Amino acid sequence: MKALVYQGPGQKDWVEKDKPEIQKPTDVIVKVTKTTICGTDLHILKGDVPAVTPGRTLGHEGVGVVEAVGSAVQNFEPGDAVLISCVTSCGKCDNCKRQLYAHCADGGWILGHLIDGTQAEYVRIPHGDNSLYPIPEGADEEALVMLSDIMPTGLEIGVQYGNVKPGDTITIIGAGPVGMSVLLTAQFYSPGRIVMIDMDPARLELAKQFGATDTIQVGVGDPVAQIMEMTGGRGVDVAIEAVGVPATFDICQKIVSAGGNIANVGVHGKSVELHIEELWIKNINISMGLVSTNTTPMLLKMLANSKVNPGRLVTHRFALDDILTAYDVFGNAAREKAMKVILNA
Ligand SMILES: NC(=O)c1ccc[n+]([C@@H]2O[C@H](COP(=O)([O-])OP(=O)(O)OC[C@H]3O[C@@H](n4cnc5c(N)ncnc54)[C@H](O)[C@@H]3O)[C@@H](O)[C@H]2O)c1
Ligand SMILES: [Zn+2]
Ligand SMILES: [Zn+2]
């Protein structure tokens, strides 16, 4: 079979590889029908995630059809259509019992990281019973691919950790696929005002179509001054960071209101300066974390009832064989006006 393989920093290839086989009784082999590329894959290719070693197949998102199941698998059989979660979980360990699947004792984010991932014709999913979801009849499969990672990330780490409430004024910094997922899922809780911040005017325009009430373009406007003016000097109830650099976490610290929340979603490679001398008196909360995908069942219901349409995030489609072109487009997102790309096997 063919697979997109990491060959060391800056190097990737679409190569012939052995088809994965059942290794443990709880494994499921899935024939991938649709997958995508995540910003995290670009981080890996830059060499930012040294745990990924040369020869690893990338990818942690997708949908497919069950090809084979291990002897202990109870929920799936060959031919079943499934959604693949980016987080693998046994469902039995202490952390899984608290729905903290990100920290499963025999799982977590391992796909396309510590084991071979979904950017291939076939993928082995450990603990298939708990790490796969049946695809509802007639579902929009492109929209479902958004439920592998970005939608639960936005909902869990941005919206739920940030405790977004009806009527709140919230700010989302970063209008990439993850920030957009925060924007879509925040609306489940009816915030009064949603201010989106980015430097890319095309992404801000899209954010308005997706429900942002206000936008601020970094480099043109001054986000802190503008937010303070908008809120009568009060600041925002929830400041959500969806970029992963010190500058944007710093904006969150300056715009959070008394009693508010800073929810950090971005993956950071550098330390940030925590202004505890300003913040201690403000009764705020700061949260951060890795997605657990424990909200996937809720998102599946929202999708089935047309309460959210993450398929709108898809801007480009390619054949799986053209994945190197898809990487080029996704890696130049501003130039290509790309948000999410779909690869069809
Ligand atoms: N916590 C988790 O479990 C989890 C899961 C998935 C992704 N992430 C992280 O979420 C972050 C966002 O992911 P993404 O795929 O949307 O990334 P992305 O790179 O596609 O989007 C980031 C956006 O931020 C904007 N931006 C960059 N610098 C900025 C600045 N100084 N001010 C304002 N905007 C700025 C860019 O224009 C872009 O639109 C990344 O750090 C990613 O690694 C976290
Ligand atoms: Zn991802
Ligand atoms: Zn577990």
Q: Please say if the pLDDT value at position 75 is more than 90.
A: yes
- In this predicted model, which residue has the larger pLDDT, 144 or 136? 144
203 and 274 part of one domain: yes
pLDDT tens column, 237-278 = 999 999 999 999 999 999 999 999 999 999 988 999 999 999
pLDDT category of residue 136 using cuts at 50, 70 and 90:
confident
Instruction: For residues 191-219, give the mean pLDDT.
Output: 97
pLDDT tens column, 95-117 = 999 999 999 999 999 999 999 99
24 and 145 part of one domain: yes
Instruction: For residues 281-287, give the mean pLDDT.
Output: 98
Overall residue count recorded for the chain in this entry: 345
Residue 181 Cα: closest atom of ligand 1? 16
Cβ 93 under 6 angstroms from ligand 1: no
Domain edge (last residue) among 269, 288, 307: 288
Ligand 3: centre distance to CA 127 (Å):
9
Cβ 22 under 6 angstroms from ligand 1: no
Ligand 1: centre distance to CA 24 (Å):
36
Instruction: For residues 273-287, give the mean pLDDT.
Output: 97
Q: Which ligand is nearest to the CA of 264?
A: 1
Coil, strand or helix at 65: strand
121 and 215 part of one domain: no
130 and 163 part of one domain: no
Domain edge (last residue) among 288, 310, 331: 288
Among the residues of 66-131, which ranges form H helices? 94-97, 128-131
Q: Identify the pLDDT of residue 132.
A: 98
> What is the percent of the chain where pLDDT is above 70?
100
59 and 170 part of one domain: no
Q: Please say if the pLDDT value at position 33 is more than 90.
A: yes
Q: Please compute Rg for the chain using Cα positions.
A: 20
Q: Identify the pLDDT of residue 71.
A: 98
Q: Which ligand is nearest to the CA of 113?
A: 2
Beta bridge partners of 125: 28
CATH of residue 82's domain is 3.90.180.10
Cβ 341 under 6 angstroms from ligand 1: no
281 and 158 part of one domain: yes
Shortest CA distance to 84 belongs to which of 141, 17, 43, 161? 141
Ligand 1: centre distance to CA 122 (Å):
29
Q: Please say if the pLDDT value at position 285 is more than 90.
A: yes
Q: Please say if the pLDDT value at position 138 is more than 90.
A: no
Residue 290 Cα: closest atom of ligand 1? 3
Among the residues of 80-149, which ranges form H helices? 94-97, 128-131, 141-145
Q: Please say if the pLDDT value at position 73 is more than 90.
A: yes
225 and 141 part of one domain: no
220 and 254 part of one domain: yes
Q: Output the residue whose Cα is nearest ligand 1's atom 9.
A: 266
Quote the domain boundaries for residue 259. Answer: 153-288
40 and 173 part of one domain: no
Cβ 199 under 6 angstroms from ligand 1: yes
12 and 45 part of one domain: yes
Number of domains the chain contains: 2
CATH of residue 177's domain is 3.40.50.720
Cβ 1 under 6 angstroms from ligand 1: no
308 and 252 part of one domain: no
Shortest CA distance to 145 belongs to which of 186, 85, 101, 187? 85
Domain edge (last residue) among 247, 264, 288: 288
Helix (H) or strand (E) holding 32: strand 28-36
Amino acid at 292: S
pLDDT category of residue 283 using cuts at 50, 70 and 90:
very high
271 and 319 part of one domain: no
